A and B are shown apart, each in its own frame.
Chain A
């Protein structure tokens, strides 16, 4: 099982074992990681699981689709590395990678 390191905006790190196939929003919510809300439950319909992907992790996932890009407009402090974590599916190659969280989701 890959370990994903969620980094809060203040630098606090949370290492979480994520089952392959699980999305990164779900895993964060299950482990009560502060800073990821996931209000819509993973439907890509709320923009409250916004994260920033460092290059090494971005290289492992597909580019965001139109729906995700649209929902990212609702997120705050979006930049080129922004993604919605409900659309990122864990796999073993992600082991040890870091995901950065924004200051706020609302």
Chain B
């Protein structure tokens, strides 16, 4: 029983990320409404970010900002700080995500103006005309 408990405790973050990933992917591919596709895209990207940030966590560690001892010397025990590298990567990726989101929404507005709808099947019908 304990083993199972520890197994769940050790992996639940990754599981949640993978489940969210596929929820988003499903929405992106299957939903007919383009706005829903974009929302799926946001969920999909964030799930990946959740996965990568999870890599940086360490048991018993604190935020990766150095603490100083009373005599102004930094305390440098690496095990007491969370891993900063995934944080840096994800900061970059969040910004990339909002950039893509902005472009997608701009395209969506244009599609609405040209085709008069944002339902995929209606757009395809409109294009066949």
- A-B complex is real: no
B-side residues, CB < 8 A to A, are none
